[in-house]
Chain A
Amino acid sequence: MTFYFAIIGTKDNPIYETEFGTSKQGGDGHARFPDEQRPMNQFILHSALDIVEEVQWVQKELYLKTVDRFNNLLVSCFLTAGNIKFLLLHDSKAEDPIRQFFADVHEAYVKTLMNPFYEVDMRITSTVFDSKVRAAAKKYL
């Protein structure tokens, strides 16, 4: 199980990305995408944005669950109040752990936003944020 996670800003601009593997069932937390797959990940998430834009007016929850699929890969989305999209590319269905992962990332994102030196749509470069995301991934995924 390998995951690719990206946060997309309000102007469809990426503000954070990372990839990681599962830590459950003896996984070591390292991402194992085949080399030819890795560059595709960004395209897959990017194309999912169109579907998110449709779903977001039908569904009012922040967690939009799985919005798109590509071959055997699934794209789950969490949309914040300020229209920041958290997109996770994953290969197995697991709604609840992903919801919890998104909730933790959302908290870290809101904290980032509380920083007066951070503005909406800026790239998130904090190492603390990065470690928070990794900790959440390790805990739930």
Chain B
Amino acid sequence: MSNLHNPASPFVPFSPNPAIQSGVASPTTPLSISQKTPQLGSSNLRYASSRKSIYDRHLNRTQRSELSKASFAFLFGEMIQYAQKQVSGIQDLEKKLNIQGYSIGQRLLELLLHREGRSAKRETRVLGILQFVAQTVYRHLFGKPADGLEKSRDNEDEYMLIDNDPAVNSYISVPREMSQLNCAAFVAGIIEAVLDGSLFPSRVTAHSVPTEQYPMKTVFLIKFDESVLERESVMPNN
């Protein structure tokens, strides 16, 4: 049944994933399968109980569906607890949350542009990608655009994305001794992945900036890599 009858080629793949790096002579043979049995066959593929693979699922079916906030809060609480068991400090914990969000952001970026269909456009400018995050990404995640987008007055490479009441924090009260912690680091991870994926490498961190009106106000500080500003400065103004 194999439709992978490619002739052996010298195409030795390179990937940062160590599991893949050991170059196997025939690259189109699935590694995981070939290691277990030399035979290829659909029987070796594991299917969900519905007998359908991920390729049979529709990408746009859940486009407008919403998740219950209660179940998200429960899941997110568990994620924080899980992360906290593995770390020793607040910075570590924020980093863990950031990483959890990062893998979501990588997927979200690709999915959102795929859903735009033929009119999809990649963002090539700093302002464009920030708008994309504040509008498209934020709207998809939380059902509303971000509350503000500001450029830092002191630093040329810093931008601030403002959320007056982050949905992820609505059922979280941070203990006094951990007051530095902002669990929206998870969202910061998502934003960072979207920026990185679009070739705007940056560091994104979440900071609590409580005000009278918005006690939960969070600012995502976006610090772009030097290369981004360098590129931006040579791009034509249009």
- Give the interface of A toward B (CB within 8 A): 9-11, 13-15, 17-19, 38-39, 42, 56-57, 60-62, 79-84, 103, 106-116, 119-123, 125-132, 134
Contacts and interface: CB of A to CB of B under 8 A. Distances in A.
Given A17-B27, A79-B122, A81-B197, 5 more contacts: A14-B13, A19-B6, A82-B110, A110-B59, A127-B2
27 contacts: A13-B13, A13-B14, A13-B15, A13-B16, A15-B15, A17-B11, A17-B27, A42-B9, A42-B11, A60-B123, A62-B113, A80-B110, A81-B114, A81-B120, A82-B197, A110-B114, A111-B55, A112-B54, A113-B106, A121-B17, A123-B15, A125-B29, A126-B45, A127-B33, A127-B45, A128-B53, A128-B55
A123 B40 contact: no
Contact of A110 (B27, B110, B197): B110
Interface string B112-147: 111000101111100000000000000000000000
Contacts of A112: 54-55
B55 A127 contact: no
A111 B197 contact: no
Main secondary structure of the interface of B (DSSP, over half): loop
Contacts of B27: 14, 17, 123
A127 B17 CA distance: 20
Contacts of A62: 113, 120-122
